[in-house]
Structure 1
């Protein structure tokens, strides 16, 4: 038994002693008690949560100056009861609110007042539920105008509460998906005018200004010509298990939900996310969080800015101007945000050290799952990330972060350019033995820069990446990764299968990639396993000892400082059997993915 231990239960009392028999009621109550004993620690302080849903009224914030760090070589540990045993408790830390006051209309749709809430997703009996959508775009003949769109259809005039709608543009750049809010809909007997919120629409036109000469013709590209998907209107509420929010009066919103078969008012739980942050850590050290389910959190960024102007990875435009990037006279040009802003996460750590997150489940979250920035010696292991609007795990400008043995799937459900795992300008980061599947764009992204060096991308299993957008891959690296092969990035022993959309690369070294060793990986069923000609060109990259099912273009004439040697091409039709028959290939397969699991 640790010297200092406290317990938390949804049935407890914060004015009690926090023992196993008389637990605290809230995480905040237990945190206050733990803070009181950290100064003189002579052993780990363990805060144990019993099973149940712990609804957070405010984010659980860990700060070094408040006494949340371990001291004297010991740790502060927050954990689920029975962590690591067969009887481990299921503990949810939820930022959501149960919706009540339901009534049913003649059309079978449930409605409930929700005040000023405007959820972008719901949880119904533990399942993620998306907003109602029209997936065939605007009706009629559509023309883009300075303020939005005109169509010769009068149908949009019948859609109630148009200001609550959002238009979606998959492939606005091949690797991007934009979202824009509607301001108003007006019209007459022969046409309808849809006005988009400003300045978001003008900013979108500036950001997505591009020419692609390789596409033929004059290279004109207009990803904003018309939206492909329209979301959040009761007129689109035809599929069971979808919802819409009407906002007729400010502060008096109404939630509309079309139930699935078997769901009943009074028996079915409907939870709307409220908090935008569940866990926030700053400056803390020697802290452990393990065995929790982090769930039901929101992000209101698109509502605040009139949309989501995505560029690449987690970067978007929210402020500042735009920079033109010339890709070459025979390729074209694009614009990028001059001051890119990164997608936030519902669990975030900044300037922390010696922190461990282990065995957690990040699910039904409205931003990214986990963000680590400006931190040192952080472990993220044996956790699951799914049903997340943005990225799973993001690491920014940090040192010695380990991301190992995690399962990441079905992320990017709203912001589809989001990677499963993103590492930005970080040093000595290890991304190893993770399993990633069913993601809309890149599986793993490593972005280089002045700080980047020593990244290890080892023995990951990436399957069914690039499910929605193009121009990416299972593993994507850009920019310099150090200043030598010895201190650069190592990409070794990864297995990449089924890179789905067109124009993709299994292992993608792009945009001036440098000082990267790509050694002993397997790529099967991608458009092409690697690309050798990129702009700006790659330098000092080695592709050695890999297995793939097609010979990359210009394989025999790579760039001057790029090495391609000892790679093996196996037949597509019998690839699985052939690679298993090769001792080196069999060893790569056996090691890839989460350790200790049957595959």
Structure 2
């Protein structure tokens, strides 16, 4: 081995027992002729790196030369600091031994649990550790949280918030350990309370200032989604107070006593349980390295420390935050901060990460940034992450040539249940990138958008940037923009900025914002200055609003052709944009569409949820009154973007005559896109006078959709208010 001039890095410490991570078995691979095979193990030390005397990962790294292969034995590698590979570490393969499941962990075990009289258990926390997440036997615990607080009580201003007395916070033992969690449209905020004075709360700085209006740094100049904006509806919940600890699986951190207190779930025994909190950020960092392959390695319990500091989490979009008390004014978000990730690649060249497992993380899974090029992240799994799955690129529209991210590929990965804590995060994000390929990934159960490519909103920078020739192809995106998380204005696939040559094709999108009350749960959302994008051959079903949205007239030259969907959408806005040969308002997917949908995703062929026939479309719709423009038939035209409404009147109704008595198995009621039908009866009858009607009452707002299983014979289906108001509907489907 040639002499190494760099300083040896310290070895990893003790072995941490953790649940094995099930990875796809990899075939044995050999090092190149003349190259070495080095061996590392959780308990390894020294520099011999043989099977009998394995090294630590740091020792193996320092002993390796270009062309060598480092094989990692089974077990958990506890990392007290990141394992860093720089340019000197290029050309090396890091791989699991045959049949092994090596796991890099940033977690710290919490031991010595003692029982409390109220059924909770407590453990001391070592100095230097601030538990933000807790995992008990591999299952994520929840920071103790309370109920929502409406803006009428918790009134947010640029300096703080009211409501300390009515919420009971004024009487809490340690309110300054608690945080307010706020969601405003597409943004998520987490700021810690710093003081209580009467009914007033103050919050950590600069977190609160960066979350409120008036900084002149928080996103686009037109933005109105700060915590003190007119769109603010209240606090989603306060969390991390002992007084809120009332549900099994919740925990609370007491910074004064330096203890974690946990209320066990049924069957959990804290004397035997394995409890872990993430401590170390950035488990593996490739900084300027090239031609490195990382294969078959798991990443668990990596931390994301910023939200627990005074910076907090001032979410801007897609999991990026505004940090610092001061900084350049830039309404295009050039200076936003990405979340900490278990794996980070900076300025990498020809990096390959495959068959990796990212799970139980306090931040994001992987970040490829600062001009990483020609690199691939493939056949890996991301699940149970506090932030987003994958971040590719940066927010600088015209970086120096060596900092341009280009020709990176994210393919055949599974991304599921990410954004668990920071619900504005997305599954896969790419900023100002060129020739990025996001192909055949499976994304499911996400709080906000699935795949997001581009940046810049309506700022001039977004018109002329390095964005171009990106491909979002063959992905399976299901159950995104989940209604329970109240994050709005996104889509299964979301874009920004002019992107000449970008193609969105062959994707299967099912259930985006399905069950929402808002009108902004889109399938493919070409937002703001999205331009020069082709949308073709996609299958989109069960969407909260439009299957394709290009609302801004400065988003130009976009083309949607040959797509299949169960609804319709207005024509694309912007000069030169077109829609042609799309198969819309379907109530059954044809064989060709099913073939495209089944082929999408990482594991194909995959299941395709077939549409149900709609009896209402062939029926005759009427209503108690109309304003002359919103006719009754708009609710049976198969288009969720057109609406009908009655006048405001007692007992207002809308109905459809199916022409003959038919078996009705289910009724879908979709609310209007600008006003909502509230507190109504759904009546099914064989006779026109409804004397034999079967009635189901719906309390509160109609969703998009409200689903009612009926299983009865009926010719007439009526939606009738039980009070005064309007019946306002976008869609009513009657399924046999």
Preserved CA contact (<8 Å) 2:342 2:365: yes
In structure 1, the residue matched to 2:350 is 354
Structure with bigger RCO (C-alpha 8 Å, 6+ apart)? 1
Q: For residue 96 of structure 2, what is the aligned residue in structure 1?
A: 80
Structure 2: gaps of 5 or more residues: 1-29, 394-403, 456-461, 608-736
**Counterparts of 1:125-524 in structure 2 under 5 Å?**
125-137=137-149, 141-144=153-156, 147-151=159-163, 152-153=165-166, 155-170=168-183, 172=184, 174-187=185-198, 192-206=199-213, 221-224=229-232, 226-248=234-256, 253-319=258-324, 320=326, 339-373=335-369, 374-396=371-393, 397-447=404-454, 449=462, 450-467=465-482, 468=485, 469-482=487-500, 488-500=501-513, 501=516, 502=518, 503-524=520-541
Shift of 1:587: 3.0
Distance, in Å, in 1 between the alignment partners of 2:472 and 2:334 is 29
Q: What is the DSSP-based 3-state SS (H/G/I as helix, E as strand, rest coil) of the residue aligned with 1:569?
A: coil
Number of the residue aligned with 1:540: 557
- Residues 53 and 512 of structure 1: is their aligned pair in 2 closer, same or farther, counting only changes over 3 Å? same
* 2:39 matched residue in structure 1: 7
Any gaps of 5 or more consecutive residues in structure 1? 39-43, 71-75, 83-87, 325-334, 483-487
Q: CA shift at 1:554, angstroms?
A: 4.0
Please list, as runs of the form range in 1=range in 2, the aligned pairs for 1:51-62 lying within 5 A after superposition.
Answer: 51-62=74-85
SS in structure 2 at match of 1:348: strand
Q: How does 1:547-586 map to 2 (within 5 A)?
A: 547-554=564-571, 558-571=573-586, 574=587, 578-579=588-589, 581-583=590-592, 585-586=593-594
Partner of 1:394: helix, strand, or coil? strand
When residues 231 and 154 of structure 1 are mapped into structure 2, their CA distance, relative to the original with a 3 A threshold, is closer
Q: Which residue of 2 aligns with 1:63?
A: 86
Which of 406-415 and 304-313 deviates more? 304-313
Match of 2:58 among 25, 28, 37: 28
Cα displacement string for residues 137-171 of structure 1 (whole angstroms, at most 9, x for unaligned residues): 3899444456323335272233221111110111x
C-alpha separation in 1, matches of 2:334 and 2:503: 30
Say what the alpha-carbon RMSD is for the aligned residues.
2.6
Q: Is the 8 A contact 2:303 2:340 kept in 1?
A: no
SS in 2 for 1:415: coil
Q: Secondary structure at the match of 2:558?
A: strand
Deviation at 1:92, TM superposition (A): 1.2
Deviation for aligned residue 1:537: 2.4
Measured at CA, do residues 122 and 290 of structure 1 come closer, stay the same or move farther in structure 2, by a change above 3 Å? same
Give 1:553 deviation, angstroms. 2.2
Q: d(CA) in 2 for partners of 1:221 and 1:155?
A: 24
Residue 396 of structure 2 aligns with which residue? none
- Which segment drifts farther, 495-504 or 275-284? 495-504
Q: How far apart are residue 552 of structure 1 and its match?
A: 0.4
The structure-2 alpha-carbon separation of the partners of 1:528 and 1:355, relative to structure 1 and needing over 3 Å to count, comes to: same
Per-residue CA deviations over 1:509-559 (Å, capped at 9, x if unaligned) read 01111110101111111111112322x62101000101111110246xx54
Deviation at 1:101, TM superposition (A): 2.1
1:398-429 CA distances to partner (integer Å, 9 max, x unpaired)? 11111110000111112211110111111111
Question: Contact between 1:490 and 1:518, CA under 8 Å: does it hold in 2?
Answer: yes
For 1:128 and 1:259, the matched residues in 2 are separated by: 12
For each residue in 1:545-583, what CA deviation from the matched residue of structure 2 results, as whole angstroms up to 9, or x when unmatched? 01111110246xx54310100001143xx3xxx32x343
The Cα shift of 1:186 comes to 3.9
**1:139–1:153 CA contact under 8 A, matched in 2:** no
Distance in 2 (alpha carbons) for counterparts of 1:355 and 1:390: 23
Change (3 A) 1:224 1:185: farther
| Kept in 1: contact 2:302–2:341 (CA 8 A) | no
Secondary structure at the counterpart of residue 528 of structure 1 = coil
In structure 2, C-alpha distance between the alignment counterparts of 1:499 and 1:524, rounded to whole Å: 8
> Which structure is higher in strand share?
1
1:300-329 per-position Cα deviation (integer Å, ceiling 9, x unaligned): 2123334211111233221346979xxxxx
Q: Which residue number corresponds to residue 327 of structure 1?
A: none
CA radius of gyration, larger in: 2
Give the total of aligned pairs.
Answer: 540
Question: Is the 8 Å Cα contact of residues 322 and 336 (structure 1) preserved in structure 2?
Answer: no
